[in-house]
Structure 1
């Protein structure tokens, strides 16, 4: 039986780190694609040469998409991770990247449609919820087989900061973030705990508010420290656990950008768009969406995030309709 296959489009810091983490997890063959000549092939070989120490037997290969024919190597991918796009620079919000990266997603989505329309897609490029939307429009792939990074990474940051404040193991912190993957994300306090003990019983409101703010701007904090690049270590493992849950059908429950329709759309107040909510991730992609109950404070924060996603989704619609250009 043929090995499972993961393709990663974009061999920058995030894409290469995802490839490394997935290689170490030893779950599938990994194909890396990038428009820069030699970059994907070089990183694939570099990771492969560490296999004797990391202990994996799957193969890595790299391809230069300056030659469009190389996209043929997407065929047969079980999962395609899309990290291609422009990176944020200091002073730039996730939303500043929007139109440029929508244009890139249009091109990538069309290639996926042509060469591997049966794949499950994980959108990583910022802002990931809008990029998932753009990839769906360009590829025509069933929305339940497309999910976006967001809550997986944001929740990891939230858990890290809570564990730090409480001086406890991060393994015992259960917390998550929903909403758009941007500055209006919603760290969900009422559902956050340490071994079942509510966070609100352990930290004063002022400290919780401080942690929420740090979580919302966690990517920007790292960007300002790096000066010339954006985060990639935490994003890579956050992406890898999503992909692993698909490949191994682990059915992990992780907040990610998912497409809302029907009763879920009515519940969350956003329809036919992608936004971060708790989902079950399995072999078929988004296998279940969970509806959360909001109090007044939660609902106000959620609705603010929804409006931001709706605004950016409208820009994507205008781009695809030809009303605006990147």
Structure 2
């Protein structure tokens, strides 16, 4: 395997941050720095991952600690830090709780890595990504979030289960807000260019849409103490690979549109080309009228939430 050709800093060393570090290290494209304010957590995760890499004979360097100096020199900074949504907590409550942490992190990013790309994971991701863009002052194409690719993976999974199709043959995307207003684009979902509405019927297709919308909540319910970690980490490592390698792959990304889909001045999940410069292009799909209305509904919800920011 070739030498790593970049550096990724991951702020937050919980399950998502640590698994992202491991999966990214396995790709062999970047050295990784883990940062967490919890004493010993990032250092312990880094040591564990480093020993795993030694067993696998991989040469990525993984460091960890609580000092933000570790993020210096990073090509990409990932923000996973923040509190999960507790039972009974509204999205507005979560917004206020996590906004404080994101603001403090962005001050460090702006000071220490002024040329980096920033990828936000902290929820509510549509709002936290907007906040990160505002607080860093970076160009919008260099600040974006992870949500749509995870939702798209869930949609792909449920379509695969419903139809028996291989996930690798299944093409599906989810756009819009990263919440119950998300838009699984059922009209374009296909297996080897055969539409799923013809393969499994409208009723089964509608069921996969509902499963996708509640995919994260289902995992939380089953785990009882915790939430999804492997799916988010897989989505993040895939995005990081596209950025570091610069191969221009297309994903659903929480990005800032400038008129695409009739939207602007918000962050929302849309199909985008990711590369070394960040979001290199937003791609306009020919979605149905119903899906367009659902996208606009999600955008309206995001605008309402943005009013809660200081």
TM-score range relative to shorter protein:
over 0.9
Aligned to 1:32: 34
| 1:177/1:186 contact within 8 Å kept | yes
236, 256, 263: which one aligns with 1:239: 236
Counterpart position of 1:205:
202
Contact 2:5–2:244 (Cα < 8 Å) also in 1: no
**How far apart, in 2, do the equivalents of 1:55 and 1:174 lie?**
34
Note the 1:100-119 alignment, pairs <5 A: 100-119=97-116
The verdict on how the C-alpha distance between 1:90 and 1:207 changes in structure 2, with shifts beyond 3 A counting, is: farther
- The DSSP-based 3-state class of the residue aligned with 1:191 is coil
Do 2:4 and 2:30's aligned partners in 1 also have CA atoms closer than 8 Å? no
Which digits, 9 at most, give the CA deviation of each residue in 1:230-287, with x for residues without a partner? 10011100110001100000111001111112x32xxx23312111000000000000
1:285-316 Cα deviation digits (max 9, x unpaired): 00011112333211221121111111112222
* Correspondences of 1:128-147 after superposition (within 5 Å): 128-147=125-144
Preserved CA contact (<8 Å) 1:174 1:192: yes
Equivalent residue number for residue 16 of structure 1: 18
1-side partners of 2:88 and 2:213: how far apart? Answer: 15
Query: Could you tell me whether the CA contact under 8 Å between 2:143 and 2:278 is conserved in 1?
Result: yes
* Structure 1 position 274 matched with structure 2 position 267: yes
> Hey, what does 1:284 align to over in structure 2?
277
The answer to whether 1:53 aligns with 2:46 is no
How far, CA to CA, are the matches of 2:190 and 2:92 in structure 1?
31
What do residues 91-130 of structure 1 show as CA deviations (whole Å, max 9, x unaligned)?
Answer: 5565552221122111111111111111001101112121
- State the match for 2:304 in structure 1: 311
SS in 1 for 2:32: strand
CA RMSD of aligned residues (A): 1.5
- Report SS of the residue matched to 2:246: coil
Q: 1:80 corresponds to which residue?
A: 77
Assess if the C-alpha contact under 8 Å between 1:24 and 1:55 holds in 2.
Answer: no
1:4 aligns with 2:14: no
Q: 2: CA distance between counterparts of 1:56 and 1:93?
A: 43
Task: Using structure 2 for the length normalisation, give the TM-score.
Answer: 0.95
- The CA distance in 1 between the partners of 2:214 and 2:124, in whole Å, is 13
Of 90-99 and 47-56, deviating more is 90-99
Specify the SS of the correspondent of 2:8: strand
Aligned length: 308
Aligned partner (choices 172, 176, 179) of residue 175 of structure 1? 172
TM normalised by structure 1 equals 0.91
What is the distance in 1 between the residues matched to 2:111 and 2:263? 30
Q: Deviations over 1:145-172 (max 9, x none)?
A: 0111111100000000000011121110
Decide whether the 8 Å contact of 1:124 with 1:149 is kept in 2: yes
| Aligned CA distance change for structure 1 residues 290 and 52 (closer, same or farther; 3 Å) | same
Q: Distance in 1 between matches of 2:57 and 2:88?
A: 41
Alpha-carbon separation, structure 2, partners of 1:92 and 1:35? 24
Tell me, in whole angstroms, the C-alpha distance in 2 between the residues paired with 1:208 and 1:295: 15
Structure 2 partner of 1:123:
120
